[in-house]
Chain A
């Protein structure tokens, strides 16, 4: 055990910090779930990519920097410390990217990773369907082989970033006679292909963060299949592991929120009751615990380990922590907490309300926390299946 950064890691931190200080936009960008905000975030991603920081753990040839996972955590810490924009292409760079790295052919890596790094192609997720939510193995949308193409029919829903994204990755049933986890194939679909209809859905915050996507005889070349035909479930589970386990929600994000929460409570120290102050400190501590656990996971991965079912422990922990932090902040804000961002009396309040609305989705997306608890019980603890 050695819980110190090396000189090289310290130097990397300093370099990232200096670059971010010089490049992070002074004014926050508009939400990426609006048309203008989406494009503004795409521009920011290009700036990041030109600086070599789009996805530091990727090999240089794909637009990355060849860093290890500790350096990735350092990058994330500096990124959130600098208050840099949210990552509009997170579905791509954090979820699909690592999956392509693991399952993709050399041609697929060369084709998809560089434009993903630059956000020339922004990705939406296509997992859920109207009748396949928590029960994802009930997928009905089909991708039927026709020569050197798949013909896709059916519907996906809750496709995050679907309203403005360029591409969608998802699971489709390639064997029409199959059921459950068998006979599914992981396919990459351009959203401008003939036969694709995208219908944006306004979320709880009023913005179009996700969409329904309809497929009507959409033809996609076989080269867009990731992993073997019929093995899509396995590929998707790897993606879900990245999502729940490590990449999507790096600890720095929650440490940044925890710091804001502590600062909020410090600024109102004379008015914050002891019980709330206690909760603030517990939130801070849990953000630290999440950080420690992530560094521990990274140590394990660097030594050749893999992320398995324990990703479900993480997902529950960060999503519930995020919600608690925002609930605690709104409690501290008291009567102001019902104000929206534009209210004259609402300085600094709107951010917490926006964050709260977003945090409410945490226990739902990336697999509901109830599903995660089932996974923990059955696959980590070994309890009998229901």
Chain B
């Protein structure tokens, strides 16, 4: 029983954090908003050098061959930096999906994903939009009982501009005979459920990072902004607002880390653990956004101030891969109807010993 991360995973996290701090400040986010694609192939290539898109790609295909426990640390940093690149869909969802499919699809695409040369968009049943289709080299198109590989140009896509300018969303339809079928029936459903779990986990981890950033911004503002002759952060009303954010963040985190462990090991209660994590991280980030805005006051309500970059990330990620309500309902079913083991000792399966 050990909740600590490996030193090498922490090191990777620090490397990415340092890189993003230098190369991806809020000014870069704004600059990318103004471009046609909102994405940067050059940035993606640099992320590939660190190993981000290939993190879950097996070593024989040029990746790092690591698992979701390492992945959540990297996603956290991506969230903290409000990175818009498709690190969830391509790195956290498509790469392991291709890995599990194996065969020619894996051999064809995984080396390119790891090298930062291919971006893969993913459509999952139940989710209305596909992100990053406009920059994708491949669309993995999932429907109930069916998974296909489709060339992005062969799908009918309608752009759906989002409140968060970093989000590039599309509704997508495909002709029944378009593309190449990769899996069907139960196998397809299982792969798509795995994909959804990985996407929700990655979004939860990013939300933890967004939450951290929102809290940091609010603390920094409250320490500098003076009213009544002292920093507003010296007032208890402000202190307590931010202390509450710290509490929510602290208790969302271990849920995300445990979910990562459960996803990496395909644990029986994986979906419940992922839903707990996604709901907790989403709620923490939304709460942080509200409190951070209130602490900033009117300046935080402007387009010029950077706060809204991160508020918008909180809002959009809370929606991504199942909004909180969906994940909450999955918890309700598990606890109230399906009778998962609960009570002292049940958390790590001690009940069954």
Contact = CB atoms under 8 A, between A and B. Distances in A.
B345 A384 contact: no
6 contacts: A13-B350, A13-B353, A255-B343, A292-B254, A293-B253, A293-B254
B268 to A, nearest CB: 13
Nearest to B353: A10
Contacts of A77: 344-345, 350
Given A3-B258, A289-B255, A383-B223, A296 B230 contact: no
A363 B9 CA distance: 38
B233 A2 contact: no
B172 to A, nearest CB: 33
B344 A277 contact: no
Contact of B4 (A281, A282, A299, A382): A299
Interface residues of B, number: 53
Contacts of A217: none
B257 A377 contact: no
Interface in A178-232: none
A140 B242 CA distance: 33
Interface in A66-97: 70, 74, 76-81
B3 A81 contact: no
A303 interface: yes
A349 interface: no
B308 to A, nearest CB: 22
A295 interface: yes
B299 interface: no
Main SS at interface, chain B: helix
Contacts of A10: 350, 353
B234 interface: yes
Contact of A290 (B230, B251, B257, B328): B251
Interface stretch (A99-107, A151-159, A163-171, A259-267): A259-267
Contacts of A385: 234
Contact of A255 (B243, B257, B258, B342): B342
B228 to A, nearest CB: 12
A380 interface: yes
B345 A13 contact: yes
Interface stretch (A29-37, A309-317, A340-348): A309-317
A300 B250 CA distance: 14
B261 interface: yes
B93 interface: no
Interface string A285-307: 11011111101101110110000
Interface string B324-347: 000010011001100000111111
Interface string B301-323: 00000000000000000000000
A57 interface: no
Interface string A313-356: 10011000000000000000000000000000000000000000
Nearest to A272: B336
Which of A3, A291, A385 has most chain B Cβ within 10 Å? A3
B332 A383 contact: no
Nearest to A302: B2
A211 B87 CA distance: 59
Nearest to B9: A1
A70 B350 CA distance: 12
Nearest to A10: B353
A381 B230 CA distance: 17
B1 A384 contact: no
A26 interface: no
A256 B231 contact: no
A384 B221 CA distance: 12
